[in-house]
Chain A
Amino acid sequence: MTSTKKDPVLVMLQMTGAYDALNTFVPYGDPHYQDYRDVLRLSAEDVHAVDDYVGFNPGMGPLKELYDQGKVAVMQGIGYPNPIRSHFRSLDIWHTAEPDKMVTDGWLGKAIRDIDPNKENILTAVNFGRGLPRALAAPGVSVASVGDLASYGVLTGIDGEEERMDALDIFGRMYSPMIGSGAVNDYLSQTGLDALKGADILKTAPDMYTSGIEYGGSPFAQWLKNIAQVHTAGFGTRVLYTGVNPGTFDTHANQHITLPKLWGDVTTAIGDFYQDLVEHNANEEVVMVVFTEFGRRVKENGSGTDHGSGGVAFVIGDAVKGGLYGEYPSLEPDKLDEGDLRWNNDFRSTYATLLEDWMGLDSQPILNGNFEKFDFIK
Chain B
Amino acid sequence: MADNDIALMAHLMRRAGFGAQYDEIVERAEKGYEATVEELLNPTDDNHGMDLDLNERSFLEWNHFIRCVPEYIMWRMINSRNQLEEKMVLFWHGILCTADSKTQSYVTSQAELDMLRANGMGNFRELLIEISKDPAMIYFLDNCLSHKDNINENYGRELLELFSMGVGMDGQFNYTEDDVKECARAFTGWTIGNNIPGQPYGRYASQFVYNPSDHDEGMKTFLGETGNFNGEDVIDIIVKQPATARFISRHMYSYFVADEGGVPSWMETPPRDMATIKMLEDVYFNSVYDIKAMLRALFNSDAFKEARFQRIKGPIESIVGTIRLVGDWTTPRPGFEVIFDEMKHMGQEILNPPSVEGWHTGKEWIDGGTLVRRINFTADYVGDLTQPGVQDLVRKLQAEGPVLSPDNLVDGCLRLLGCYELETETREMLIKHAEKTGDLPTGNREFPGQVAQMLQMIVATKEYLYA
B-contacting residues of A (Cβ < 8 Å)? 86-89, 92, 102, 104, 127, 130-132, 134, 137, 142-147, 152-159, 163, 166-167, 170-171, 173-175, 178-180, 184-185, 187-189, 191-192, 194-195, 198-199, 252-253, 301-302, 306
CB-CB under 8 A for A145 and B462, given A88-B99, A179-B423, A188-B366: no
Q: Considering only CB atoms, which chain A residue lies closest to B436 in the complex?
A: A166
Q: Report Cα–Cα, A142/B364, bound state, in Å.
A: 12
Kindly supply a per-residue 1/0 record for chain B positions 444-467, scoring 1 wherever the CB is within 8 Å of any chain A CB and 0 otherwise: 000001000100110011110100
Q: Report Cα–Cα, A166/B432, bound state, in Å.
A: 11
Interface residues of B in 343-373 (CB under 8 A from A): 344-347, 352, 354-357, 360, 362-364, 366-372
Contact pick for B102, options A89, A166, A253, CB 8 Å = A89
A180 touches B456 (CB 8 A): no
Give the interface centre of B341, B352, B366 by most chain A CB atoms within 10 Å: B366
A158 touches B383 (CB 8 A): yes
Q: Considering only CB atoms, which chain B residue lies closest to A90 in the complex?
A: B101
* Complex interface: stretch among B22-30, B81-89, B288-296, B374-382: B374-382
Instruction: Please give 12 more A-B residue pairs, beta carbons under 8 A apart, in addition to A179-B425, A191-B367.
Output: A86-B101, A146-B369, A153-B372, A154-B460, A157-B383, A158-B379, A158-B456, A174-B460, A174-B462, A187-B366, A188-B371, A252-B199
Give the interface centre of A87, A88, A134, A189 by most chain B CB atoms within 10 Å: A88
Q: Report Cα–Cα, A80/B102, bound state, in Å.
A: 18
- Is B395 part of the contact surface with A, judged by Cβ < 8 Å? no
Q: Considering only CB atoms, which chain A residue lies closest to B456 in the complex?
A: A158
Query: B396 contacts which chain A residues (CB < 8 A)?
Result: none
A180 touches B376 (CB 8 A): no
Kindly supply a per-residue 1/0 record for chain B positions 75-102, scoring 1 wherever the CB is within 8 Å of any chain A CB and 0 otherwise: 0000000000000000000000001011
Shortest distance from the beta carbon of A307 to any chain B beta carbon, whole Å: 9
What total of A-B pairs shows CB separation below 8 Å?
132
B462 touches A127 (CB 8 A): no
Shortest distance from the beta carbon of B295 to any chain A beta carbon, whole Å: 26
Contact pick for A157, options B101, B341, B344, B376, CB 8 Å = B376
- Is B335 part of the contact surface with A, judged by Cβ < 8 Å? no
Main secondary structure of the interface of B (DSSP, over half): helix
Contact pick for A145, options B259, B363, B372, B375, CB 8 Å = B372
The 9 residue pairs across chains A and B that have the minimum distance between CB atoms: A145-B369, A88-B101, A157-B380, A132-B369, A131-B345, A86-B102, A195-B368, A102-B355, A179-B425
A188 touches B465 (CB 8 A): yes
Interface residues of B in 423-452 (CB under 8 A from A): 423, 425-426, 429-430, 433, 436, 449
A145 touches B354 (CB 8 A): no
Shortest distance from the beta carbon of B47 to any chain A beta carbon, whole Å: 32
Q: Report Cα–Cα, A185/B48, bound state, in Å.
A: 38
- Is B137 part of the contact surface with A, judged by Cβ < 8 Å? no
Contact pick for B199, options A127, A174, A306, CB 8 Å = A306
- Is B312 part of the contact surface with A, judged by Cβ < 8 Å? yes
- Is B401 part of the contact surface with A, judged by Cβ < 8 Å? no
CB-CB under 8 A for A131 and B456, given A154-B372, A156-B376, A191-B368: no
Query: B368 contacts which chain A residues (CB < 8 A)?
Result: 132, 142-145, 191, 194-195, 198
CB-CB under 8 A for A127 and B372, given A174-B462, A175-B462, A179-B426: no
Q: Report Cα–Cα, A173/B383, bound state, in Å.
A: 21
24 A-B residue pairings within 8 Å (CB atoms):
A89-B102, A143-B367, A143-B369, A144-B368, A144-B369, A154-B375, A155-B375, A156-B376, A157-B376, A157-B379, A163-B453, A166-B436, A167-B453, A170-B429, A171-B457, A174-B460, A180-B462, A188-B363, A188-B366, A188-B462, A191-B371, A252-B199, A302-B200, A306-B199
Query: B363 contacts which chain A residues (CB < 8 A)?
Result: 184, 187-188
Query: A163 contacts which chain B residues (CB < 8 A)?
Result: 453
CB-CB under 8 A for A131 and B200, given A86-B101, A157-B383: no
Q: Report Cα–Cα, A147/B33, bound state, in Å.
A: 43
Q: Considering only CB atoms, which chain B residue lies closest to A190 in the complex?
A: B368
Q: Report Cα–Cα, A166/B371, bound state, in Å.
A: 20
Q: Report Cα–Cα, A117/B449, bound state, in Å.
A: 44
A87 touches B101 (CB 8 A): yes
Shortest distance from the beta carbon of A105 to any chain B beta carbon, whole Å: 11
Q: Considering only CB atoms, which chain B residue lies closest to A158 in the complex?
A: B456
A170 touches B433 (CB 8 A): yes
A199 touches B372 (CB 8 A): yes
Query: A159 contacts which chain B residues (CB < 8 A)?
Result: 383, 449, 453
Q: Report Cα–Cα, A192/B462, bound state, in Å.
A: 8
Q: Considering only CB atoms, which chain A residue lies closest to B346 in the complex?
A: A131
Kindly supply a per-residue 1/0 record for chain B positions 291-316, scoring 1 wherever the CB is within 8 Å of any chain A CB and 0 otherwise: 00000000000000000000010000
B366 touches A155 (CB 8 A): no
Q: Considering only CB atoms, which chain B residue lies closest to A86 in the complex?
A: B102
Query: A192 contacts which chain B residues (CB < 8 A)?
Result: 371, 462
Q: Considering only CB atoms, which chain A residue lies closest to B347 in the complex?
A: A131
Query: A88 contacts which chain B residues (CB < 8 A)?
Result: 99, 101-102, 352, 354
Query: B367 contacts which chain A residues (CB < 8 A)?
Result: 132, 137, 142-143, 145, 191
Query: A145 contacts which chain B residues (CB < 8 A)?
Result: 367-370, 372
Q: Considering only CB atoms, which chain B residue lies closest to A144 in the complex?
A: B368
Shortest distance from the beta carbon of A18 to any chain B beta carbon, whole Å: 12
Query: B372 contacts which chain A residues (CB < 8 A)?
Result: 145, 152-154, 195, 199
Shortest distance from the beta carbon of B376 to any chain A beta carbon, whole Å: 6
Shortest distance from the beta carbon of A273 to any chain B beta carbon, whole Å: 22
Q: Report Cα–Cα, A16/B465, bound state, in Å.
A: 31
Contact pick for A127, options B354, B369, B453, CB 8 Å = B369
Q: Report Cα–Cα, A174/B375, bound state, in Å.
A: 14
A102 touches B99 (CB 8 A): no
Q: Report Cα–Cα, A147/B462, bound state, in Å.
A: 22
Give the interface centre of A152, A191, A198 by most chain B CB atoms within 10 Å: A191
Q: Considering only CB atoms, which chain B residue lies closest to A133 in the complex?
A: B369
Query: B376 contacts which chain A residues (CB < 8 A)?
Result: 154-157
Q: Report Cα–Cα, A109/B363, bound state, in Å.
A: 17
B312 touches A184 (CB 8 A): yes
Q: Considering only CB atoms, which chain A residue lies closest to B459 in the complex?
A: A155
Q: Report Cα–Cα, A194/B369, bound state, in Å.
A: 10
CB-CB under 8 A for A170 and B430, given A130-B345, A179-B462: yes
Q: Considering only CB atoms, which chain B residue lies closest to A127 in the complex?
A: B369
Shortest distance from the beta carbon of B196 to any chain A beta carbon, whole Å: 14
Query: A194 contacts which chain B residues (CB < 8 A)?
Result: 368
Shortest distance from the beta carbon of B100 to any chain A beta carbon, whole Å: 9
Query: B347 contacts which chain A residues (CB < 8 A)?
Result: 131
B345 touches A92 (CB 8 A): no
Q: Considering only CB atoms, which chain A residue lies closest to B101 in the complex?
A: A88
Q: Report Cα–Cα, A184/B259, bound state, in Å.
A: 11
Query: B429 contacts which chain A residues (CB < 8 A)?
Result: 170, 173-174
Contact pick for A184, options B99, B362, B456, CB 8 Å = B362
Shortest distance from the beta carbon of A37 to any chain B beta carbon, whole Å: 17
B102 touches A131 (CB 8 A): no
Q: Considering only CB atoms, which chain B residue lies closest to A145 in the complex?
A: B369
Query: B449 contacts which chain A residues (CB < 8 A)?
Result: 159
A130 touches B379 (CB 8 A): no
Query: B355 contacts which chain A residues (CB < 8 A)?
Result: 89, 92, 102
Query: B436 contacts which chain A residues (CB < 8 A)?
Result: 166
Q: Considering only CB atoms, which chain A residue lies closest to B357 in the complex?
A: A102
Shortest distance from the beta carbon of A140 to any chain B beta carbon, whole Å: 11
Q: Report Cα–Cα, A154/B370, bound state, in Å.
A: 11
Q: Report Cα–Cα, A252/B198, bound state, in Å.
A: 11
Shortest distance from the beta carbon of B458 to any chain A beta carbon, whole Å: 10
